[in-house]
Structure 1
Amino acid sequence: MKDTPKKIVLAYSGGLDTSVILKWLKETYHCEIVAYSANIGQDEDWDKVREKAWATGADEVVIRDLRDEFVRDFVFPMMRANAIYEGQYLLGTSIARPLIAKEQVNVAHETGADAVSHGATGKGNDQVRFELTYMALDPELKIIAPWRIWDLNSRSRLIAFAKEHGIPVPVTKEKPYSMDANMLHISYEGGILEDPWAEPPKDMFLWTKAPEDAPDEPQYVEITFEKGDPVAIDGEPLTPRKLLQRLNELGALHGIGRIDIVENRFVGMKSRGVYETPGGTILRIAHQNLETITLDREVVHLRDSLIPKYAELIYYGFWFSPEREALQALIDESQKDCSGVVRLKLYKGTCQVVGRRSHKSLYSPELATFEADEVYNQRDAEGFIRLQGLRLRMRAMLQNKLGAEDQE
């Protein structure tokens, strides 16, 4: 058949789903399969992932370490925008998918593959994020989404298929929820969390301490920024990856970064998610507060009005879109003077800004003071207020006139 792929690159994790998919692709299309895995900071034994891919029938196995690129080229640009979806979600999974898919396209080019495949289900957001990236970067690649076309639509069927084909199925106790992890966050969804009234079990959280169990003494930390990006902690210069790792350690120790939300998926349904984003939470708070002294008022207000749209583009999978790139250009332009240091106090689940300074600060003690000054003439405010109130006065005068006519 004309549309039959000759070689497929599968986004492979080594778990039950993608292991079954690997074998299913082999049996269905009778072509070479490249098992591709991306290391973006999740806790994996990559040697075992490689061995299992070979044992399950992969013709090639490619594992890429994308941790530096993830933080530098995806997390930090997003943080320069203070991006947050629906007021709470820091987009930990959303921002990882375009990078994984981008490298998958690169692997397809390097190995001569003409098709790509993923293990995302037909109900979630990830199928959209993967496939929009494929289309944006190479529209000629065939896309195979097994969950939308096969009949293995339950865990019991997946396990039966795996046993039938000699794919190892772990005899470990099944987690009552699904997880996804990378350097920015850990997410928990499904299972026992599908009841939005049920509190998550305390032992579910793998990263952060419960705030009540965090240290009884606060810890102070200083983050240095250059043009909107963090570059040092407590005066020590760090690479993007090491800086985020350090903030993750600090945030986890002090119980920072837990959220429990019901979010609106792109496909239309609501989904309850619980997230741990310790370093990202600290970073966003610090960056926002540095902007309060380095950014012009109207620039801040304009940028803030665009955050919901920017976050929505990431959540929906439009990272590689002209509109996201245009917004990023505006955001990055706004960050050229966003340099300085922010001091924070970390304590039992809270992250409080207690100081900020910058050699490019627009904050002027001479103007802000309540004491006498020679810079600002307070009488000037009278004309300013009268001009601002002109339209309100005209409206009131008209209403009074019409009211009087109605009484005649």
Structure 2
Amino acid sequence: MKKVVLAYSGGLDTSYCVKYLSEEMGFEVYTALANTGGFTPGELAAIEEKAYALGARRHVTLDVTAEYYDKCIKYMIFGNVLRNKTYPISVSSERTFQALAIVRYAKEIGADALAHGSTGAGNDQVRFDLCFSVFAPGMEIITPTRDLKLSREEEIAYLRSKGVERDWSKMAYSINKGLWGTSVGGCETLSSHLYLPEEAYPSAAWKAGEETLTLSFERGELCAVNGERYTSKIEAIRQVEALAGGWAIGRDTHVGDTIVGIKGRVGFEAAAPLIIIKAHELLEKHTLTKWQAYWKEQLANWYGMFLHEAMYGEPVMRNIESFLQDSQRYVSGTVQVRMRPYSFELLGIESEHDLMNASFARYGEETSAWTAEDVKGFTRILSMPLRIYNAVNKEEI
């Protein structure tokens, strides 16, 4: 029998794919879940049990959380990457690393084909297809849910006809959780004016008052939380999430252009990503020069766009990563954050590389770096192009 590796989540679409691929297409189905930090051990065990109950030949969990941090999250922090200045590119950045893990596993077992359960309406179909076709060009890509244009009702009816009985009732909200945030979709996000209610979000606001959080960075990477050092950057991120989640911080709605050309809207909560990015950005304001900050912002914007649009494999991404990495040489220090229900405030930073610490000049105060005559001459030279233009054209403003 030919082998197919199915990117499996345990939901309705991929459950349908297991049965269809094995019983209608005659494949030996190997299910694989690529975990990017969003599943508990109990959830992973339940998903594995479902896969075998559906008839999977073998099921594996591929933990790619460390790879996801080292090859992606780290650079999104360096670049302060927020899609449309809002969204920390949570789920969309995960998909590439999930797809790459699926490809590696398929090659390892000598699979003949790859499969995923994405529909024809969203971005994920492109992300999986592109990665599969580039990095496993000899393997067939099979997408039953998309190709057969199936409704939920048709999938459920098929599974029941095969003796698969579960509670297939659609949850009111679709939740996709990972290390770098959680997306939330519902009927409200299909509109332009409705907003997600409190119960849509997986985290509840149970803390009251205020709480101060101290984040420490070394060369742009989070290394300590409230003075406690972490050898694992992943655990440091999880600690920030644990402390901030009770404040229900990091909720917002992202509106943007999808890969397939339509506008999309999705809710999300990402307490740790937003606090870490904004704290890191503040530290950079103190430690980078004007032109370092300017060019890093331009490149990071492209980096985030390429990540979102499945172009992680484009070689220019490695070039941008080199720049981002090099820019972090002096981005070290601590940042104070005040947390409140639904919001946070950046208080200030301490760093031996703080460029405000220069002894010869202080903004708005006395300076020993120049004289009054120096400023007069500087201003006269700076104004020269404007004075020439106005002398020639005699425009009034």
**TM-score, length of structure 1 as denominator length:** 0.90
Cα distance change, pair 132–385 in 1 and its aligned pair in 2 (3 A): farther
In the TM superposition, 1:107-146 aligns within 5 A as: 107-146=105-144
Structure 1 counterpart of 2:49, one-letter code? E
Kept after mapping to 2: 8 A contact 1:136/1:321: no
Offset from partner CA, 1:150-206 (integer Å, 9 cap, x none): 24x2111011011011223316x5322322111221111242432222231221111
Aligned residues between the structures: 392
In the TM superposition, 1:223-302 aligns within 5 A as: 223-238=215-230, 239-302=232-295
1:155 to 2:142 alignment: no
Structure 1 counterpart of 2:22, one-letter code? K
**Alpha-carbon offset, residue 355 of structure 1:** 1.8
**Alpha-carbon offset, residue 374 of structure 1:** 2.0
Taking the aligned partners of 2:134 and 2:77, their CA distance within structure 1 comes to 23
SS in 1 for 2:92: coil
1:16 to 2:15 alignment: no
**Alpha-carbon offset, residue 75 of structure 1:** 1.5
SS in 2 for 1:255: coil
Taking the aligned partners of 2:36 and 2:347, their CA distance within structure 1 comes to 32
Offset from partner CA, 1:22-68 (integer Å, 9 cap, x none): 11112343122110012223345222211211121211111122333
Offset from partner CA, 1:192-231 (integer Å, 9 cap, x none): 432222231221111242xxx6412x11111111111101
> Alignment identity in percent?
28
In the TM superposition, 1:241-390 aligns within 5 A as: 241-366=234-359, 367-390=361-384
Kept after mapping to 2: 8 A contact 1:258/1:277: yes
Cα distance change, pair 380–146 in 1 and its aligned pair in 2 (3 A): farther
Structure 2 counterpart of 1:23, one-letter code? K
Structure 2 counterpart of 1:274, one-letter code? G
Offset from partner CA, 1:244-296 (integer Å, 9 cap, x none): 11111122112210002322211111122110001001100110011011111
Taking the aligned partners of 2:374 and 2:137, their CA distance within structure 1 comes to 60
SS in 2 for 1:319: coil
**Alpha-carbon offset, residue 389 of structure 1:** 2.0
Taking the aligned partners of 2:103 and 2:77, their CA distance within structure 1 comes to 25
**Alpha-carbon offset, residue 149 of structure 1:** 1.5
Cα distance change, pair 242–369 in 1 and its aligned pair in 2 (3 A): same
Kept after mapping to 2: 8 A contact 1:208/1:256: no
Structure 1 counterpart of 2:337, one-letter code? L
Choose which of 34, 45, 48 in structure 1 pairs with 2:46. 48
The answer for the alignment partner of 1:406 in structure 2 is none
Unaligned 5+ runs, structure 2: none
**Alpha-carbon offset, residue 11 of structure 1:** 0.4
The answer for the alignment partner of 2:56 in structure 1 is 58
Taking the aligned partners of 1:118 and 1:22, their CA distance within structure 2 comes to 10
SS in 2 for 1:368: coil
Taking the aligned partners of 2:379 and 2:293, their CA distance within structure 1 comes to 23
Unaligned 5+ runs, structure 1: 404-408
Cα distance change, pair 250–379 in 1 and its aligned pair in 2 (3 A): farther
1:198 to 2:194 alignment: yes
Structure 2 counterpart of 1:196, one-letter code? S
Taking the aligned partners of 2:129 and 2:218, their CA distance within structure 1 comes to 34
Taking the aligned partners of 1:17 and 1:369, their CA distance within structure 2 comes to 60
Cα distance change, pair 369–148 in 1 and its aligned pair in 2 (3 A): closer
Taking the aligned partners of 1:277 and 1:358, their CA distance within structure 2 comes to 26
1:219 to 2:211 alignment: yes
**Alpha-carbon offset, residue 365 of structure 1:** 5.0
**Alpha-carbon offset, residue 14 of structure 1:** 1.0
Cα distance change, pair 374–277 in 1 and its aligned pair in 2 (3 A): same
Taking the aligned partners of 2:329 and 2:120, their CA distance within structure 1 comes to 41
Kept after mapping to 2: 8 A contact 1:263/1:273: no
Taking the aligned partners of 1:177 and 1:255, their CA distance within structure 2 comes to 17
Structure 1 counterpart of 2:325, one-letter code? D
The CA RMSD over aligned residues, in Å, is: 2.0
Kept after mapping to 2: 8 A contact 1:177/1:193: no
